[in-house]
Amino acid sequence: MEILPAIDLLAGRCVRLMQGRYDRIIQYEGDPLEVALRFRAAGATWLHVIDLDGARNGRLENLAVLRQLAAQTGAHIEFGGGVRDEAAIDAALEAGAERVIVGTRALEDWPWFDRVVHHPRYRHRIALGLDARVSRLAVRGWTCQTQHSPLDVVTAAAGWPLASIVYTDIGRDGLLLGPNLTAIERVAAVATAPVIASGGISDLEDVRHLAAARLAGVVIGRALYEGAIDLKEALAATRAA
């Protein structure tokens, strides 16, 4: 299982949103490159980079930061936020992302997403972003609730050449309450693509539980920034599992 330290970008700075709310922002010290290099020095090979400005506004706004992270860290980067068309996918890939998360446009235009995922240029380069709040998926930077359930969407994408499915529990994100293991395991049980879990990871025990669930990866944010989890120890725990 990979550990993907989270770098959430708002106006070019590293932040965390409490439960995905833009009115509950935690601002962290240091610029994104400094933070990314610390994660790399601790042993991380992947970074989970989200353009929060883009997610809210529907257009990529932190491509320059993505390009800098890719060029100067050598990390594999999973990037999302504001990816609403092929031009945005191409721009993110060109800037150095290894895989690109599509959430809002996928749920709002499933035929388009089907076509894009199966296009030879994007096979195994697109991650399906599923952001869940009380068993329903949210879109547009988590500001709009839909009637889609995670399991129905994962089932509909069975057998598709996705790079991964990134499942986030919005209600726990940024709160250090522990992951929603039941929901994560249900998604993993029906998914045919690798599943990456996000939201609420608070300590090493959470990491061990998720590793036991045989996920492809876990995104950790606030717990790393505030020292609740030591990244080197977490990486060691996944190797042991």
Give catalytic residue positions.
8, 131
Cβ contact 207:178 at 8 Å: no
Q: Is 202 helix (H, G, I), strand (E, B) or coil?
A: coil
Name the one residue in this structure whose structure tokens are 């035929």. Answer: 111
Q: Which residues contact 192 (CB under 8 A, 6 or more apart)?
A: 157, 158, 159, 160
Cβ contact 111:118 at 8 Å: no
The enclosing H or E element of 183 equals helix 181-190
Structure token pair of residue 43? 């042993």
